[in-house]
Structure 1
Amino acid sequence: MGTFIQQVINGLSLGSVYALIAVGYSLVYSILLFSNFAHGGFLVIGGYICYYVLNSLGANIWVAGLVSLVGSGLCAVLTERLAYKPIRERTSVTLYLLIASMGMSIVIENLFVIFAGGRFRALPPVIPTSPVNLFGLATTSAFDLLSLVAAVVFLGGLQLFLTRTKWGLAIRAAAYDLRTAGLMGVNVGRLISIVFFVSGLLASVGGIFLSVRYTLYPQLGSITIKAFVAAVIGGLGSLPGAVVGSLILGLAEMLTAGFLSSQLRDLVVFSLLVITLIVRPSGLFGKDIKEKV
């Protein structure tokens, strides 16, 4: 029983980190209707900024985390302005945006390989990883509990932003129809920049925790493919779906690793993806969107 509870907590912790990344995928998809595969690059940017601020400037984790969040968010906005905006202004075909995002993902990864090197780096021990006893029922890591709490705080903050602010209302309106929102007076360019900033910020939080859980290296962004799978399972464009899909995926991974074999983790993850696409292609909370001919 104790092992089961421990694996559930580990799964919720991992799933909460996936949720931070998957929500970024869903935010961009809900507005521009394309999957931003450069999203993993923002995660890596956040991790490296945090690493260098901690080591070079000797700052604490709060300062390093803040600089990382802002830096990653601004890089996401810059990517949108340089790579996606010119395409959006020339064509409405979202396939070109998808292809551009794949190219940007490779560009960001290789820039870090060139300028930061390809070796693995470990963040300083700024986040506790000591074992924590849960009322005698199970033993887990303080890191898992902190990552779960951090995800709840940031996702809760996003929910407040979307429901209590003017720009949050604009984002929700644009998710229904971007063109109509623009005709109603919403500054579409600024709204898209805000969406990318928020998605980059959330990716940076995930990048910091994943850098501590594993290590930091230029290809760390490839792990976001699982967050994308979670977004598909929950329903692309649905923020609650992204969170639920991420928690399902995290639990499936950890329970498989704990009771079957760690080698079967990826098999289970992508089997869930295939089953979802066969049974319910729009995901758990997604809506069927017919393409106009």
Structure 2
Amino acid sequence: MATLIQQIINGLSLGSIYALIAVGYSLVYSILMFSNFAHGGFLIIGGYLCYFALNSAGFNIWVAGFGALIGAGFAAVATERLTYKPIRERTSVTLYLLIASMGMNIVIENIFVIVAGGRFRALPPVIPTTPVHLFGNATTSALDLISLVTAFVFLGGLQLFLTKTKWGLAIRAAACDLRVAGLMGVNTSKLISIVFFVAGLLAAVGGIFLSVRYTLYPQLGMITIKAFVAAVIGGLGSLPGAVVGSLILGLSEMLTAGFLSSQLRDLVVFSLLVITLIVRPTGLFGKDVKEKV
């Protein structure tokens, strides 16, 4: 029983980090109707900015984390303005945006390989990783609990932003129809920049916690593939679906690793993806595919 509780907490923690990344995928998809595979690059940017701010500049985790979030957000905006916007202005075919995003992800990875080197780096012990005893014999890490709480704070803040602010209302309107939202007076260029900034910021939060959980290296952004799988399972374009899909994925991984074998984790993850696409192609909370053509 203790092992089950421990794995559930670990799964929720990992799933919450996936949720931060998957929500970014879904935000961009809901507005521009393409999957931004450069999202993993923003995660790397956040992780490295935090690392260098802690080690080279000597900042504390609060200042370093804030700088990393803002830096990754602006990097996402710059990527959209310099790469995606010129393509959007020339064609409405979203396949070109998808291809460009794959290229940008490789560009960002290789920039850090050249600048920072390809070796693994460990963030200073600024986030506690000490064991925490819960419910008697169940043991988890302080990092898991902190990442779980932090993720839901940021996701709750995003929900408040989307439901209580003018730009949040504009984003929800643009998710229904970007062109009509523009005709109603919404500055769509600024709105898209805000969406990318928020997506990049959330990816950076995930990048910091993943850097502590695993280690930091230029290919760490590849883990966003699982966040993308979570977004597909939940339904691309649906923010609640991205969160639910991420929690399902995190729990599936940890329960599989805890009770079967860690070697089966990826098998279970991508089996869930295939089953979802066969049984319900739009995902658990997804809209009709015809609406997203």
Q: TM-score range by the shorter chain?
A: over 0.9
Q: List aligned pairs for 1:1-293, cutoff 5 A.
A: 1-290=1-290
- Give the deviation of 1:15 after TM superposition: 0.1
How far 1:135 moved relative to its partner? 3.4
Q: Distance in 2 between matches of 1:214 and 1:178?
A: 39
Deviation at 1:196, TM superposition (A): 0.1
Contact 2:33 2:292 in 1 (8 A): no
* Secondary structure in 2 matching 1:11: helix
1:197 alignment partner AA: F
Q: Distance in 1 between matches of 2:228 and 2:55?
A: 31
Residues 178 and 292 of structure 1: CA distance in aligned 2, closer, same or farther (over 3 Å): closer
| Structure 1 residue 289, shift from structure 2 partner | 2.4
Q: Runs in 1 of length 4+ with deviation above 6 angstroms?
A: none
Distance 2:216 2:163 in 1: 35
Which amino acid in 1 is paired with 2:174? A
User: Could you tell me how far apart the structure 2 residues matched to 1:57 and 1:41 are?
Assistant: 22
Q: Distance between the aligned counterparts of 2:128 and 2:205, measured in 1?
A: 16
Q: Deviations 1:6-33 (Å, cap 9, x if unpaired)?
A: 0000000000000000000000000000
Residue 288 (structure 1) shift = 1.1
* 2:88 aligned partner, one-letter code: R
Structure-2 separation of matches of 1:263 and 1:245 = 21
In the aligned structure 1, how far is the partner of 2:240 from the partner of 2:129?
A: 29
Structure 2 length-normalised TM? 0.99
Contact 1:73–1:196 under 8 Å retained in 2: yes
Supply the AA of the counterpart residue of 1:283. G
Identity of aligned residues (%): 86
Query: Which segments of 5 or more consecutive residues in structure 2 lack a partner in the other structure?
Result: none
Q: Cα offset for 1:104?
A: 0.2
- Amino acid in structure 2 at the alignment position of 1:108: I
Q: Distance in 1 between matches of 2:257 and 2:291?
A: 40
CA distance in 2, matches of 1:28, 1:287: 15
- After superposition, the C-alpha distances for 1:150-182 in whole angstroms (9 at most, x for unaligned) are 001000000000000000000000000000000
Q: In the alignment, is the contact (CA less than 8 A) between 1:18 and 1:246 conserved in 2?
A: yes
User: Structure 1: which 5+ residue stretches go unaligned?
Assistant: none
Secondary structure, aligned partner of 2:289? coil
SS of residue in 2 equivalent to 1:290: helix
2:24 alignment partner AA: G
Give, as a single letter, the amino acid of the residue that structure 2 aligns with 1:222.
M
C-alpha distance after superposition, 1:191-210 (max 9, x if no partner): 00000000000000000000
The alignment partner of 2:216 has SS state of coil
Partner Cα distance (1:289, 1:7) in 2: 35
How far has the Cα of 1:292 moved from its partner? 8.8
Alpha-carbon distance in 1 for matches of 2:137, 2:235: 35
2:206 maps to a residue whose letter is: G
CA distance in 1 between counterparts of 2:45 and 2:10 reads 25
Q: CA RMSD in A?
A: 0.9
Q: Distance in 1 between matches of 2:184 and 2:135?
A: 55
For 1:183, give the aligned amino acid: L
Contact preservation (8 Å) 1:5, 1:137: no
Contact kept? 2:235, 2:286, Cα under 8 Å? yes
Aligned residues: 293
